[in-house]
Chains A and B, each alone.
Chain A
Amino acid sequence: MHLIPSELAIGEVYFPPLLIAAMLGFVLAWLTARLLNRYRLSRFFAYPPLVLLALAVIYTVILGTLVIPA
């Protein structure tokens, strides 16, 4: 495993991988929240906004580790 961070080039602009992972993580968390709302599963959570934040962090970590590694 190398310690030099790799960057993503989109349209000749370099982006840090964590930024992309965080953006995708947030989009996935938002989609999950929409689905949970749609099927009324959100009522089983004590405080859904915290769950949304937790989901965004979990997705970001998973994407950042497995899909877009630094």
Chain B
Amino acid sequence: MLLSERFKFSFKVALAVVLAYGIALSMDWEKPVWAAYAAAFISLATTGQSVEKGVMRMLGTLLAAVVSLTLVSLFPQDRWSLMLALSAFVGLCTYLTGGTKRQYMWNVAGFVSLIICLGSVPATENAFDVAILRTLETGLGILCYTLVTLLVWPTTTAEELDTAVRQLAATQRKLYLGYLDVLDGKSGSEDLQPLRLQEVQQIQRSSQSLTGAREDTYEVWEMRREWGRYTARVDQIREALARWYESFEEVLPLDLESLIADYRPLLGELDSRFGRIEQILAGQVSDQGSPALAISLNMDEVRTRSHFERAALALFCTQLRSLELHTRGLLDTLARIKGFAPPKPSPAPPAGSLRALLTFVPDLERFAAAAQVMATIWLAYLVWLYVEIPGGIGPVVIAGSLGIALAMYPQLPMRLLFKPLAVSAVFAAAVYIFFMPRLSGFLELGSLIFAVIFAIGYLFHEPRQILGRLAGIVMFTTMSGITNEQTYSFLSLANTALMFVLALGFIGLGRHVPFSPQPHKAYLRLVRRFFRSCEYLSATLLLDPGQRLTWLEHARDAFHFRELANLPGKIALWVRFISPASLGDTKPEQIQALTAYIQSLGHRMRETIEARAALPPITPAELVVSGELQREIDTWRVALREIFGRLALDPDAGDEASFRTGLSAKLQALEHHIKQTLNRTGQVRLSAEQEAGAYRLLGAHRGLSEAVIAFTKAADAVDWPRLWEERF
């Protein structure tokens, strides 16, 4: 009989939980539920992913045990100092949970420290026992699930990784071909939006699969550095494709075949590279990399074009070169992964931690998440201290634990969590009242636990149903309160249910710190922040490129540059949750289109900054010739900074007609001065590199102006007064 994956997975989770309970009860350990939690929480689809999560849970628990015992010993008789230090540590863990490395370890460290420091009162007497017990039982749960997943129907992540990377390669090729169709005027870019979303999701999925495959597939572990380079390359290709597409609008009227040497063969070669990436991943061909492609212009033809057309062309070619570089890099990496080429030596280790600390760039969203969790803990703690609430300190611990996890998804409405918890509570109560009192001995109890966990696992099998699965298991194991000396009390059942209600209430209130969690407000806040970063960065364009920056100026540049890169993605996440009532007359597709323009604006701004940084230095003699031109460019930059400043105050402040008139006039003046400057080339001649750099910068400036105008035009369709309106 062929068993389904669903059956196998549910069986493994149920078996591991029963084993964890059985061993913990036979050892007469208190709180056997902690072992069950560990077994259930690390259960993922494949062995590698589960082992990775198990290791992170164990490390997090150990870290929390050390930190908690240190805090308790530092502040043995001072509850306020202990709470201050503890909430600061939990805040730090929350901040690090939002990072890119060992997120789950920090998550576990945060909530386990709460359990150890607050789980028993007084902490000074019991903290050591609680820390040891928690560590022991977490280790037991992890061991049980690891053994079960290794011995019973083991599933490696290699197959999942293989599927994920092949799907990603196919999507990137489709996207490239789609962009070619746009370039040839065969289709519009709207059709490609789903593919872009799919690409981002598949990059995330392949990254997750890679994490698991490193643990359970030796070949992947051996080539882990190359796989790391693969992950970086596919992301660079994603960005290169997006930015290449942004440069289309200005070159669409041009005859690219006559302007770019070997244009069609070049595009054909890039397509062939995408095809070869797919074939290598499918194991159909062996490849030893690809030679670099020269992307050059037919200068005789190019000189007949206006300066702005040449600038647009320079920008287009820059993005095309970037795409060429990254596809070539990806082919090389894949050749090494598949063993067609020798592995690349590891790069030099990164600079010391002091340097890393000095280049630390704060993330406001993660700071907000930390503040939110700290506020939740303090609120719950003060209520527990001054008001008698059901469950004692329990709601404080639950609010903190759930709060850390929820702070990572501020967009998710609370009702999404409330429903699975409420349904699970009713189900757990029914089992507790009607079935459990009839049981005697572990054989019967174990059978019941197995049946319940199996049913939950089977019903909530899909990865997207993980919330339902974990809610079901947590509510059942918590409310059943299984111990060696089992007692039944309706009061304890009702109190446990109320504890969760109170914890959700605290989290709901804590979510208003430091910003409102309402999607329309978050959207406005992030859009304004995006324009503030644009304003700051456009001001830096006015500075002399050779000027030495202080540490603080470097840090501010890095902060705003990262805001520019990350905020459009965050804005796109919030947009999906804005209620129709807050949108008023705006259609959802109109606000989504506006988000796409923000993304485009971000790309254009980054391109402008990069083009300016890449511009070769100009000598004083050349500067004299181009002085007037420079003043004209600076006037344009000042105008742009003012526009961003207005949009940062009010995204609706843009007036398309006046922006278009103002910026177009400045661009025309700029073109006039370029002509004048180039007519005087008898005095000073710019090198080919300087000329290419200057055209790229000019193209970037023009692209940025067009992007601002496109944003203001799209913003006109949005019902801003309704979006600003206060709502419950």
Is residue A51 within 8 Å, beta carbon to beta carbon, of the partner chain? yes
Known: A13-B490, A37-B581. A49 touches B725 (CB 8 A): no
Q: Contact mask A20-51 → B, CB, 8 Å, 1/0?
A: 00000000000001101100101111111101
Q: Does A52 contact B (CB under 8 A)?
A: yes
- A37 vs B110: C-alpha distance when bound (angstroms): 38
Cross-interface CB contact of A43 among B490, B512, B516, B725, cutoff 8 Å: B725
Contact present for B490 and A48 (CB under 8 Å): no
Chain B residues with Cβ below 8 Å from A46 are 726
| Secondary structure of the A contact surface, majority rule | helix
Q: How far is A50 from B512 in the complex, measured between Cα atoms in Å?
A: 10
Chain A contacts for B490, CB-based, 8 A: 13
Residue B551 at the chain A interface, CB threshold 8 Å: no
Task: Determine the main DSSP class of B at the interface with A.
Answer: loop
Category for how many chain A residues contact B: 10 to 19
- By beta carbon, the residue of chain A nearest B501 is A23
B101 in the interface (beta carbon within 8 A): no
Contacts of B434 in A (CB 8 A): none
Is B727 part of the contact surface with A, judged by Cβ < 8 Å? yes
**B728, A36: Cβ atoms closer than 8 Å:** yes
Q: In whole angstroms, how far apart are the Cα atoms of A48 and B512 in the complex?
A: 11
Asked whether A48 lies within 8 Å of B725 as measured between CB atoms, the reply is no
Which A residues touch B728, using CB under 8 A?
33-34, 36-37, 42, 48-49, 51-52
Q: Closest A residue to B517 by CB, please name it.
A: A49
> Chain B: interface residue count, which band?
10 to 19
Nearest-CB distance from B453 to chain A (Å)? Answer: 28
Docked Cα-Cα span, A46 to B512, in Å, equals 14
| A-chain residues with CB within 8 Å of residue B516 when the two chains form the complex | 49
Q: Give the complex CA separation of A11 and B726 in angstroms.
A: 42
Q: For residue B727, which residues in chain A have a CB less than 8 angstroms away from its CB?
A: 37, 42-43, 48
- Cβ distance B250 to chain A, nearest Cβ, rounded Å: 42
Chain B: CB-nearest residue to A15: B494
What are the residues of chain B within 8 A of A52 when measuring CB–CB?
728
Contact of B726 among A13, A34, A42 (CB under 8 A): A42
Cβ–Cβ < 8 Å partners of B509 in chain A: 53
Contacting pair B512 A40 (CB below 8 A): no
**Chain B residue at minimal CB-CB distance from A47:** B726
* Closest B residue to A55 using CB positions: B728
A36 to B494, CA, bound (A): 33
Chain B min CB distance to A12 (Å): 10
Give the chain A neighbours of B725 by CB distance below 8 A: 40, 42-43
Smallest CB-CB separation from B508: which chain A residue? A49
Those of B696-728 within 8 Å (CB) of chain A: 725-728
Q: Closest residue to B505 on the A side, CB-wise?
A: A26
- List residues of chain B with CB within 8 A of the CB of A51: 728
| B64-104 at interface with A (beta carbon < 8 Å) | none
Kindly list chain B residues whose C-beta atoms are within 8 Å of the C-beta of A53: 509
| In the complex, chain B residues whose CB is within 8 Å of the CB of A49 | 512, 516, 728
The distance from the CB of A64 to the nearest CB of chain B, in whole angstroms, is: 15
Bound-state Cα–Cα, A44 to B727, Å: 9
Q: List B contacts of A45 (CB < 8 A).
A: 726
Within 8 A of A (CB), among B489-541: 490, 494, 509, 512, 516
Residues of A within 8 A of B581 (CB): 37
**Residues of chain A contacted by B512 (CB below 8 angstroms):** 49
A13 CB, nearest partner CB in chain B, Å: 7
CA distance A40 to B725 in the complex (A): 9
- Using CB atoms, name the residue of chain A closest to B581: A37
Q: Give the complex CA separation of A45 and B578 in angstroms.
A: 20
The smallest beta-carbon distance between A20 and chain B, in angstroms, is 13
Give chain A nearest CB distance to B494 CB in angstroms. Answer: 8
Cα A45 to Cα B516 in complex, Å, equals: 14
Beyond contacts A34-B728, A53-B509: 6 other A-B pairs, Cβ-Cβ < 8 A, are A42-B725, A42-B726, A43-B725, A48-B727, A49-B516, A49-B728
14 pairs, CB–CB < 8 Å, chain A vs chain B? A13-B490, A13-B494, A33-B728, A37-B728, A40-B725, A42-B725, A42-B727, A43-B726, A43-B727, A44-B726, A48-B726, A49-B512, A49-B728, A53-B509
Q: Report which B residues bind A (CB closer than 8 A).
A: 490, 494, 509, 512, 516, 581, 725-728
**Top 10 A-B residue pairs of the complex, sorted by shortest distance between their CB atoms:** A33-B728, A48-B728, A43-B725, A42-B727, A43-B726, A37-B728, A42-B728, A48-B726, A42-B726, A52-B728
